[in-house]
């Protein structure tokens, strides 16, 4: 359409009118509402309709222009959204328009919903979020796997979702940096002794290295790649998974691990009497994921060994073990790495905040090291309950 330049409120309005998405005569207003780490997000409101214009910036907004990024991620996000929409239309925002050169995606306005992290911090429970997210993960992962597509078609699709730059962010921020004394880490002084203990934990580092290798080498399915509670819009009846700019072919256990880790961190930020609903969500998302993956496996499977006794059971157990480890890593990095979660950071009382963060670190490290000892979400929940007693 034209060459890249960052949109302003005025140019975003001009663009949606020029594209015919809004009438020239419509009294359209716009606000920049992006609170993520990487992009501009404009909320465009006309008299009868509304839309979201998301634009990638040529640097990481969370750090500034000193961290340059290419604009490729906007195209990845747009294609991932469209593909995820074919497998899980109820849980994916509709895309109206995209432009690779401008690095924009124009999509359905979800402002009648709330970012799940914000709602959960405010005490919302979202009764259907785990059911919906479990279905989303199972359908998008299974649908893009070797089992559903066959290895040839899968490899062709995988080739189009090579995302080295955003994988590099995850490889650094999730899998590497928190385990070394590097500048990007960010933790309060009250945690220094805990963090130094973690840096000197050779056993933990070995397990982190093993999990990092799985992330680097596995190509099971097209992941969302950043499925924390800030990537979900929700209400009591609806759930939409947004922001798949980190999408790439990776290990089956990654998305569910990040969702459950963020639920656990929200639970740690709450008073004990208000944690139960989060624990129920963690058990539900696993049950739904397993049930839906199994249903799809039995319904549509190109693998010759699909009906071989024990194969699916082994695979689901393998995904669970891997996810338990990834979950622990997400809890560690959100506590001491570059990108924190508001759930923990916004606890006003210093002692309670440091206690919650210490639990996040110690539970995270335990799940990384002992992931083979866990075989069900009930056991994970029981371990967390025991740790915080
Ligand atoms: C520089 S980006 C920091 C974090 O924000 C994203 O949402 C990802 O979680 C990434 O690790
Ligand atoms: Mg994001």
- Quick: pLDDT tens for 48-79: 999 999 999 998 877 888 989 999 999 999 99
Distance CA 276, CA 307 (A): 38
| pLDDT for position 230 | 96
pLDDT reading at 37 higher than 80: no
Report the distance separating Cα 328 and Cα 29, nearest Å.
43
Strand partners, 249: 222
Cα(36)–Cα(245) distance, integer angstroms: 12
CB-CB contact of 37 with 62 (8 Å): yes
In ligand 1, which atom is closest to the CA atom of 231?
7
First-last CA distance in the chain: 58
Q: Please report the atom of ligand 1 found closest to the CA of residue 230.
A: 7
Tokens of 224: 């969302």
The pTM assigned to this predicted structure is: 0.97
- Ligand 1 centre to CA of 27 (Å) is 35
287 lines ligand 1 (CB under 6 A): no
- Tell me how far CA of residue 167 lies from CA of 64, 75, 363, in angstroms: 19, 15, 25
Rounded percentage of the chain residues whose pLDDT exceeds 70? 99
Lowest model confidence (mean pLDDT) among 55-64, 105-114, 259-268:
55-64
Whether residue 290 contacts residue 316, with contact meaning beta carbons closer than 8 Å, is answered with yes
Task: Supply the pLDDT for residue 65.
Answer: 86
pLDDT score, position 215 = 98
Q: Which atom of ligand 1 is nearest to the CA of 228?
A: 9
Q: Are 363 and 371 in contact (CB under 8 A)?
A: no
Is a pLDDT exceeding 80 seen at residue 307? yes
How far, CA to CA in Å, does 311 sit from each of 121, 265, 297, 316?
40, 33, 11, 9
Q: Residue 319: which of 345, 342, 285, 344 has the closest Cα?
A: 285
Q: Where in the chain is the domain with CATH 3.30.200.20?
A: 9-107
**Ligand 1: distance of its center to the CA of 339 in Å?**
6
Ligand 1 in contact with 37 (CB < 6 A)? yes
Q: How far is the CA of 7 from the centre of ligand 2 (A)?
A: 19
Q: Is 324 left (phi over 0), alpha (psi -120 to 50) or beta?
A: alpha
Look at residue 379 and tell me whether its pLDDT is greater than 90.
Answer: yes
> Per DSSP, what are the bridge partners of residue 43?
31, 52
Architecture of domain 9-107: 2-Layer Sandwich (3.30)
Task: Determine the Cα angle at 280 with ends 274 and 286, to 5°.
Answer: 145
Range 114-387: architecture per CATH: Alpha-Beta Complex (3.90)
pLDDT, mean of residues 219-227: 98
255 lines ligand 1 (CB under 6 A): no
d(CA 114, CA 189): 33
351's tokens: 């002692």
Burial of 17 (0-12, 13-18, 19+ CB in 10 A): middle
> What does the pLDDT read at residue 60?
86
pLDDT the model gives residue 36 = 75
**Spatial separation of the C-alpha atoms in residues 32 and 52, rounded to whole Å:** 10
Q: What percent of the chain has pLDDT over 90?
A: 95
The beta strand positions in 110-255, using DSSP E, are 114-115, 221-223, 232-234, 239-241, 248-250
Structure tokens at 32: 């920049």
Is the CB of residue 285 below 6 angstroms from any atom belonging to ligand 1?
no
**Ligand nearest, relative to CA of residue 169:** 1
- What's residue 24's pLDDT? 96
Q: Dihedrals φ, ψ of 234, to 5°?
A: -145, 160
pLDDT digits (tens, 9 = 90+) for 286-297: 999 999 999 999
Q: Which pLDDT tens digit goes with each residue over 133-179?
A: 999 999 999 999 999 999 999 999 999 999 999 999 999 999 999 99
Asked if 47 and 56 touch (Cβ cutoff 8 Å), the reply is no
Q: Is 173 in the pocket of ligand 1 (CB under 6 A)?
A: yes
- Residues in Cβ contact with 118 at an 8 Å cutoff, skipping those fewer than 6 apart: 342
Ligand 1 nearest atom to the CA of residue 243, by list position: 7
Domain with CATH 3.90.1200.10 in the chain: 114-387
pLDDT in tens, 175-219: 999 999 999 999 999 999 999 999 999 999 999 999 999 999 999
The beta-carbon contacts of 181-185 under 8 Å, at least 24 apart in sequence, are: 184/337, 184/338, 185/336, 185/337, 185/338
Note the ligand closest to the C-alpha atom of 261. Answer: 1
Grade residue 2 by pLDDT with cuts at 50, 70 and 90.
Answer: low
Say if ligand 1 is within 6 A of residue 186 CB. no
Tens-digit pLDDT profile for residues 170-186? 999 999 999 999 999 99
Mean pLDDT, range 381-387, rounded to an integer: 98
């Amino acid at each position: 359409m034209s060459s890249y330049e960052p949109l302003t409120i005025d140019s975003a309005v001009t663009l949606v009118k020029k594209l015919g998405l809004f009438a020239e005569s419509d009294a359209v207003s716009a606000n920049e509402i992006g609170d993520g780490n990487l992009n501009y997000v404009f909320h465009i409101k006309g008299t009868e309709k509304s839309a979201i214009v998301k634009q990638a910036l040529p640097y990481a907004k969370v750090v500034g222009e000193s961290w340059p990024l290419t604009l490729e991620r906007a195209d990845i996000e747009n294609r991932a959204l469209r593909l995820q929409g074919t497998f899980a239309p109820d849980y994916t925002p509709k895309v109206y328009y995209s432009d690779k050169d401008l690095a924009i995606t124009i999509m359905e306005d979800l402002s009648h919903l709330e970012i799940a992290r914000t709602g959960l911090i405010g005490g919302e429970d979202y009764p259907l979020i785990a059911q919906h997210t479990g279905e989303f993960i199972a359908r998008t992962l299974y649908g893009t796997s070797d089992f559903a597509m066959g290895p040839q078609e899968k490899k062709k699709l995988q080739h189009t979702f090579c995302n080295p730059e955003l994988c590099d962010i995850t490889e650094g921020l999730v899998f590497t940096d928190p385990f070394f004394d590097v500048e990007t880490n960010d933790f309060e002084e009250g945690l220094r002794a805990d963090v130094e203990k973690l840096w000197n934990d050779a056993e933990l580092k070995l397990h982190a290295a093993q999990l990092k290798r799985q992330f680097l080498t596995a190509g099971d399915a097209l992941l969302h790649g950043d499925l924390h509670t800030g990537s979900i819009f929700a209400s009591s009846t609806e759930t939409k998974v947004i922001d798949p700019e980190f999408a790439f072919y990776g290990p089956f256990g990654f998305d569910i691990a990040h969702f459950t880790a963020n639920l656990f961190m929200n639970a740690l930020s709450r008073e004990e009497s208000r944690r139960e609903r989060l624990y129920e969500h963690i058990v539900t998302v696993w049950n739904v994921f397993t049930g839906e993956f199994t249903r799809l496996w039995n319904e549509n499977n190109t693998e010759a060994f699909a009906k071989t006794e024990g194969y699916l059971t082994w695979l689901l157990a393998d995904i669970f073990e891997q996810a338990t480890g990834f979950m622990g890593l997400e809890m560690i990095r959100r506590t001491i790495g570059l990108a924190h979660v508001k759930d923990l950071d916004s606890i006003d009382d210093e002692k309670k905040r440091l206690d919650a963060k210490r639990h996040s670190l110690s539970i995270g490290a335990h799940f990384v090291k002992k992931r083979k000892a866990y075989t069900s979400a009930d056991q994970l929940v029981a371990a967390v309950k025991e740790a915080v007693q």
